[in-house]
Amino acid sequence: MTDMNKMELNEKDLENAAGGYQSGKLAYKDGYNCYRVQGVTNFLALRSEPIDSDGVIIGELYNGEEVQYLEACHDPRFCRVYSPRLQAEGYVKIAYLALT
C-alpha cells in the first residue's frame, strides 16, 4: 500500500488532475493548448491532410467545441489538432480557432 504522506505532486500535476491549468493566456490540458471552434457557419472540417479538398474530411467540428492544438504545419492556414469528442486528430483552418 502506498504511504499517502510520502506522495509528492507539483502544482501542474494537481491542476491537470482537476482538468487543466493556466499559463498566462494559454489554457492547457495534458500539456496542449486548448482552443474553441468559433465563427463557422455549418461546421469546421477536420481533415486528414492540410489541404482544401472535400475528399480529406474525416470529421465535423462545431462552434463552441473544444480541440487541443498539437502543432503548426507548413501551410500557415492550417494546424493539427485533436478532437476529444471525435477521438481523432487532423488538420483545421486556424482562423476558426480561439483560445479558451
What residues have CB less than 8 Å from 73, skipping those under 6 apart?
50, 79, 80, 91
pLDDT band at 32 (very low <50, low <70, confident <90, very high): low
Domain residue ranges of the chain, discontinuous segments joined by +: 22-99
pLDDT of residue 18: 40
For 22-99, CATH gives 2.30.30.40
d(C-alpha 70, C-alpha 82), whole Å = 7
Please state, in angstroms and as integers, the Cα–Cα distance from residue 61 to each residue in 11, 50, 68, 92, following that order.
Answer: 32, 15, 12, 9
Is 84 in contact with 66 (CB distance < 8 Å)? yes
Q: What grid cell was written down for 68?
A: 487541443
Q: What grid cell was written down for 97?
A: 480557432
pLDDT band at 31 (very low <50, low <70, confident <90, very high): low
Q: What pLDDT, in 10s, does the model give residues 46-91?
A: 999 999 999 999 999 999 999 999 999 999 999 999 999 999 999 9
| Residue 21 scores a pLDDT above 60 | no
100 or 18, which is more confident: 100
Please give the span between the terminal C-alpha atoms of the chain, in angstroms, as a whole number: 39
